[in-house]
Amino acid sequence: MSYDKELSVALQACLQAARLCERVRSTIPEAIEKVDRSPVTLADFGSQALICHRIHNEFPDDPIVAEENPKELVKPERADSLKQIVNYVKEENNDVDEKKIVEWIEYGNGHVGQRFWTLDPIDGTKGFIRRDQYAIALALIVDGDVKVGVLACPAYGNDGGLMFYAVRGKGAYSQSIKSFGTTIPTRIYVVTNDNINNFRFAESVESSHGDQAKQNEIARRIGIQTSPIRMDSQVKYGLVACGQAALYIRFPNPHNLNYRENIWDHAAGAIIVEEAGGKVTDMNGKILNFRDNEKMLDNRGIIVSNGIIHEQILEALKD
């Protein structure tokens, strides 16, 4: 199966969402506090509404498993926020009102199945709020295998951001968001230089998202001497895919060892790195399980590499 239509729809949906997110961010929005106390902005909801609406229109039988739930928006105290979201979304789709916004966001409350999409409307919300890196991450999963992945990274690079994307078996590509559709996509590859002294590794900005001491120790043990590149979101997958880093590691935080990763935080990035020639597993060398649950219950930690150093990382962890 070619998945050409799925890729085209996903790219256009993520481009719309990227434009909306940047408009919202230019106003320095205040965060809405979710039940779990993590920040979420008007852009998260607007992005999810646009993408879910487009995916549902084109593929009405495909469930969408997304991060946000509109129950936060239907509270009376959120009435003004809902109106603001409608206004932002209208700049991309004029046929919308408050009822439709809630309905479109609810399309993302689907369940994992044989074929489904998974979406993080803003991955790296804290980075978004502080005007740093974030990503809009969308992936199509069929029989547990990611077939299409798109990362819209509006703050990455110096020219209006980059889109990273891949289809299984067809390679990975990047293209400027600003000039998307008018320029030729660039085929991207992981770094293959065998001089490990030139390798960089990436990790999350938030120390609570991993075990930075252990991550730095493992990188040092395999010979990486440079300081880590710290970034929010799945932009780190893009770094590995385009050769700007050889490694991204995310080990469980020692204060929260029972934590399990969400599929929407890794599915899109994983296929892009793999199609660029890299490798993605958990810290035990197991492939990431996108088949059974929105949480990757069978996996612990994440290792994303150029492939060349992957076994070295796993061996260092055994010690």
Q: Which of 41, 118, 125, 281 is catalytic?
A: 125
For the question of residue 118 being annotated catalytic, the response is no
* 72, 40 contact by CB (below 8 A): yes
Helices (H) and strands (E) in the chain, counts: 9, 14
For the question of residue 281 being annotated catalytic, the response is no
The reply, when asked if residue 217 is annotated as ligand binding, is no
Q: Which of 41, 44, 62, 281 is catalytic?
A: 44
Residues near 12 by Cβ (< 8 Å), separated by ≥ 6?
54
The reply, when asked if residue 120 is annotated as ligand binding, is yes
* 192, 308 contact by CB (below 8 A): yes
The reply, when asked if residue 265 is annotated as ligand binding, is yes
Residues near 316 by Cβ (< 8 Å), separated by ≥ 6?
218, 221, 222
257 exposed, middle or buried (CB, 10 Å; 0-12, 13-18, 19+)? exposed
- In 3-state terms, what secondary structure has residue 267? helix
- In 3-state terms, what secondary structure has residue 190? coil
- In 3-state terms, what secondary structure has residue 71? helix
Q: How far apart are CA 142 and CA 241, in angstroms?
A: 22
Q: How far apart are CA 40 and CA 5, in angstroms?
A: 31
Q: How far apart are CA 258 and CA 279, in angstroms?
A: 24
Nearest one of 295, 303, 300, 297 to 262, comparing CA atoms: 295
Which residues are designated catalytic? 44, 125
Annotated binding site for Mg(2+): 67, 120, 122-123, 265
